[in-house]
């Protein structure tokens, strides 16, 4: 291995006691390939197996915690006990390749297509009539919080090493935290960022309670968030500092910053000459491990996330669609073999489910490809 990449392969022990032998995670990626009832498909297992040898942690695609939280066709479910056999296979598939298995738990909120949720009833923190969504009642909010706890119990029963709470990318948890989508005046909303933390923190508490009651001694709990929103009003770095302060106090195993570009700079609410990752490291990096992600393709770029931005881990997403064996190529000094562009003529070697392949081909460069 090139000595320049040593920092990627330093071992780490999380607060929960889970140990990993490197600082590389697979970011959760939607694959559109679970069965219609939300159970795990063979395509999905083949896809994840091809990418699970090498990374310290594999975070699987977001799984909906209630029936009314399904945001994608082919999304895995974790809302029913009937999902357990497939989830066990998923965890086992990752484990046999030597990585820790973490499942991301999720509710889509307003981003759920009406055809995927019961009675087409799309829900959010507040009424969003232009998107056909209505505000959750107090009782419904509590049911979804409960659903996150029950999903965590299923993850434990299925043999996962942890869960990642999906509080990013404009899904329901973020909808409650954002002033753009939360106009509530009850206990689940309010004028300040601290007021709007009620739902995210209730979810964290439900997850941690399930872990305390059901999990083995070492079980990871992470939280993914998006640090800013483009809308006004919308989340700013100032709001996000309130969020990460509260999350750090919950003694989570890690925070995962969802970014399209790891070195992107703050938009508002903080020093706009600095990167979001460096600001977050300065704010809570001594209190909780942070995972950086976003357009990381080469080992040099991965090292920069750790060493320049102060991250404890780097997550790779799209690059591992192109190069499933990325980690081992770096570890074995074969980084010159790493591909960063899919060659359509070599489709089979990427081990991608057909629905995901079609999305890549139709998404206009989301994952780069050439004929």
The string of pLDDT tens digits covering residues 179-191 is 999 999 999 999 9
Examine residue 226 and state whether it is found in any structural domain, yes or no: yes
DSSP assigned state of 231: S
CB neighbours (10 Å) of residue 53?
A: 16
What one-character-per-residue DSSP string does 193-218 give? TTGGGHHHHHHHHHHHHHHHHHS-S-
Cβ neighbours of residue 160 closer than 8 Å, sequence gap 6 or more:
87, 91, 101, 102, 103
Give helix 138-158 / helix 84-95 axis angle, nearest 10°. 50
Q: What is the CATH number of the domain that holds 332?
A: 3.20.20.70
More confident of the two residues 223 and 363: 223
How many domains are there within the chain?
1
Alpha helix positions (H), 308-367: 318-322, 326-331, 354-362
Cα separation values, 43 from 58, 71, 157, Å: 17, 20, 23
Active site residues: 171
Calculate mean pLDDT across residues 321-336. 97
Give helix 198-214 / helix 138-158 axis angle, nearest 10°. 30
pLDDT class for 366, splitting at 50, 70, 90? Answer: confident
Examine residue 346 and state whether it is found in any structural domain, yes or no: no
Residue 269 burial class via C-beta count within 10 angstroms: exposed 0-12, middle 13-18, buried 19 and up: middle
The string of pLDDT tens digits covering residues 95-112 is 999 999 999 999 999 999
Cβ neighbours of residue 189 closer than 8 Å, sequence gap 6 or more:
125, 126, 176, 182, 183, 195, 196, 198
CB neighbours (10 Å) of residue 191?
A: 9
The number of angstroms, rounded, from the C-alpha of 211 to the middle of its chain's C-alpha atoms is: 19
Give the model's pLDDT for residue 40: 98
The string of pLDDT tens digits covering residues 267-310 is 999 999 999 999 999 999 999 999 999 999 999 999 999 999 99
Answer whether 91's CB lies under 8 Å from 101's CB.
Answer: yes
SS3 113: coil
pLDDT class for 364, splitting at 50, 70, 90? Answer: confident
The string of pLDDT tens digits covering residues 12-32 is 999 999 999 999 999 999 999
Examine residue 261 and state whether it is found in any structural domain, yes or no: yes
Calculate mean pLDDT across residues 330-334. 97
Cβ neighbours of residue 80 closer than 8 Å, sequence gap 6 or more:
38
Say whether the peptide bond before residue 170 is cis (omega within 30 degrees of 0): no
Sign of CA pseudo-dihedral 324, 330, 333, 334: positive
Tell me how far apart the alpha carbons of residues 233 and 362 are, in angstroms, rounded to a whole number. Answer: 32
Examine residue 341 and state whether it is found in any structural domain, yes or no: no
SS3 266: coil
Examine residue 360 and state whether it is found in any structural domain, yes or no: no
Whether 216 has a pLDDT exceeding 90, the answer reads no
Examine residue 355 and state whether it is found in any structural domain, yes or no: no
Examine residue 222 and state whether it is found in any structural domain, yes or no: yes
For 300-343, strand residue ranges (E) read: 313-316, 342-343
Examine residue 58 and state whether it is found in any structural domain, yes or no: yes
Residue 225: which domain range? 3-336
The string of pLDDT tens digits covering residues 105-155 is 999 999 999 999 999 999 999 999 999 999 999 999 999 999 999 999 999
Look at the chain and count its residues.
Answer: 371
Mean pLDDT of the chain: 97
């Amino acid at each position: 291995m090139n000595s320049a990449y040593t920092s990627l392969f330093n071992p780490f022990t999380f607060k929960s006691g889970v140990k990993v032998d490197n600082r590389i995670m697979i970011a959760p990626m939607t694959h559109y390939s679970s069965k219609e009832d939300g159970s795990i498909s063979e395509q999905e297992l083949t896809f994840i197996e091809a990418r699970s040898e090498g990374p310290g942690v594999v975070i699987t695609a977001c799984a909906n915690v209630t029936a009314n939280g399904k945001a994608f066709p082919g999304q895995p479910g974790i809302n029913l006990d009937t999902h357990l056999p497939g989830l066990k296979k998923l965890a086992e598939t990752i484990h046999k390749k030597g990585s820790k298995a973490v499942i991301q738990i999720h509710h889509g909120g307003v981003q759920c297509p009406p055809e995927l949720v019961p009675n087409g009833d799309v829900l959010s923190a507040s009424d969003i009539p232009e998107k056909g969504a209505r505000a959750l009642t107090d009782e419904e909010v509590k049911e979804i919080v409960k659903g996150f706890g029950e999903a965590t119990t299923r993850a434990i029963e299925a043999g996962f090493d942890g869960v990642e709470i999906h509080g990013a990318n404009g899904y329901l948890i973020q909808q409650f935290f954002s002033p753009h989508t939360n106009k509530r005046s009850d206990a689940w909303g309010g004028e300040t960022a601290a007021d709007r933390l009620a739902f995210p923190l209730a979810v964290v508490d439900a997850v941690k309670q399930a872990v305390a009651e059901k999990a083995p001694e070492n079980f990871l709990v992470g939280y993914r968030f998006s640090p800013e929103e483009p809308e006004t009003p919308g989340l700013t770095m100032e709001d996000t500092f309130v969020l990460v302060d509260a999350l750090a106090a919950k003694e989570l195993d890690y925070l995962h910053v969802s970014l399209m570009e790891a070195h992107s700079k703050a938009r508002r609410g903080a020093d706009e000459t600095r990167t979001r990752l460096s600001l977050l490291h300065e704010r809570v990096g001594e209190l909780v491990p942070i995972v950086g992600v976003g357009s990381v393709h080469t080992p040099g770029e991965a090292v920069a996330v750790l060493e320049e931005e102060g991250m404890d881990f780097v997550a790779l997403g799209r690059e591992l669609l192109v190069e499933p064996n990325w980690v081992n190529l770096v570890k074995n000094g074969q980084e010159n073999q790493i591909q960063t562009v899919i060659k359509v003529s070599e489709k089979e070697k990427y081990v991608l489910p057909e629905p995901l392949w079609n999305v890549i081909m139709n998404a206009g460069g989301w994952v780069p490809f050439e004929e």
